[in-house]
Amino acid sequence: MESNAPSPSVLSRLLNEWSQTADDASVDALIAANAGPLPDSVLTSIGRELLAAHRNRLAPVRVAYLGPEHSFSHQAAVLRFGETTDLCPVATIGAVFESVAKGETAYGLVPVENSTDGRVVDTLAAFARFAGVDDHPVRICGEVPLPIHLHLMSAGPRSAVRRVYSKPQALSQCRGWLAEHLPQAEALPESSTAAAAARAKTEAGAAAVGGERLAVEHGLTILASEIEDNPRNVTRFAVLGTEPAAATGDDRTALLLRIPHEPGSLADTLAVFARHEVNLSLIESFPLPGGEPGYQFFLDCDGHADDPAIAACLRSLGRVAKSVTVLGSYPRERN
């Protein structure tokens, strides 16, 4: 019987022809020209996978993420780097930074902030720790906004659930639902949603909160779907790397500022952004290391550090702040 499926050699020719000249912008162009029948989301996945497969054949890439497999960090890594990339699960967010810093992996994926729950403390703590190290090579070179849908899953029935495990951020994103629908259950922390699912599989009376794929992989039953308190729940991941990303005209810059611990110092700092007409999209205060009095601040602003306006703003900041660390400039992704 004749098959309509292209042979592997046709596929690899296709792969070569399209991806030899293609880059990330080509995937966007593919979507812009899409007249069906495939939906944009499918075409985006195909384009990205082709590109990733070709790049990996030329120079294999390793990427660290908070595992185990099928965590949201894993999903973000697949979205950004494709299934053919060597995706390496590690146990903590700090270990993702270490892996990139030591050159064990070229990139890392870490969650930075969630639209319901706010900042991810472990990530900011790692940035704060590494920013103090001279010549530290880890920087942000991209972002991945990922819609987060949370499901309650268990090996037993809902009436038997006494403990609900997940990463604290995921538990917090559905704390209203848990309080209303499972008031008898104790919410307990795990190192990731994927680790929580593994535990729910073996522990009687335990359930996990995580992504749909985890239930499939661990043979758990979904007891309640989409339990996130905010239906537009999105987590923004940072892509860590050691090479700076070039300016695209639609970029974001992440900064860590240490400012004098005295009245008016934060106001003076913010006035610099206003004077240079630079828009801020995030500001988070964070304690200084070693219990020193005062705070350090994480800020995201629109633009690239190489843009003249941002470069001038950074020079002025250098005059009011004790230290200014550019954590990275990278293309903005819209979700």
Ligand X SMILES: O=C(O)C(=O)C[C@]1(C(=O)O)C=C[C@@H](O)C=C1
Residues at the contact surface with ligand X, assessed by CB under 6 A = 66, 71-73, 111, 114, 120, 148, 167, 169-170, 192-194, 235
Residue type, 15: L
Instruction: Tell me which H or E stretch contains 74.
Output: helix 72-81
- In whole angstroms, how close is the CB of 233 to ligand X at the nearest point? 8
- In whole angstroms, how close is the CB of 155 to ligand X at the nearest point? 19
- In whole angstroms, how close is the CB of 149 to ligand X at the nearest point? 10
Nearby residues of 266 by Cβ (< 8 Å), 6 or more positions away: 259, 297
- In whole angstroms, how close is the CB of 211 to ligand X at the nearest point? 7
- In whole angstroms, how close is the CB of 67 to ligand X at the nearest point? 9
Residue type, 290: G
Distances (CA, A) of 47 to 23, 30, 80: 10, 8, 11
* Closer to ligand X by Cβ: residue 77 or 272: 77
CA angle 53, 56, 61 (to 5 degrees): 130
Nearby residues of 108 by Cβ (< 8 Å), 6 or more positions away: 63, 64, 65, 96, 97, 99, 100, 138, 239, 240, 241
* Closer to ligand X by Cβ: residue 44 or 115: 115
* Closer to ligand X by Cβ: residue 193 or 329: 193
Q: How far apart are CA 104 and CA 106, in angstroms?
A: 7
* Closer to ligand X by Cβ: residue 194 or 256: 194
Task: Give residue for tokens 């920087």.
Answer: 139
* Nearest alpha carbon to residue 65 among 114, 105, 22, 125: 105
Q: What are phi and psi of 104, to 5 degrees?
A: -70, -35
* Closer to ligand X by Cβ: residue 112 or 185: 112
- In whole angstroms, how close is the CB of 184 to ligand X at the nearest point? 24
* Closer to ligand X by Cβ: residue 55 or 236: 236
Query: In the bound complex, which residue of the shown chain has the CB atom lying closest to ligand X?
Result: 71
- In whole angstroms, how close is the CB of 42 to ligand X at the nearest point? 24
Omega before 68 within 30 of 0, i.e. cis = yes
Within 10 angstroms of residue 91's Cβ, the number of other Cβ atoms is 13
Q: Which two tokens stand for residue 43?
A: 């075409």
* Closer to ligand X by Cβ: residue 239 or 272: 239
Q: Which two tokens stand for residue 193?
A: 């949603």
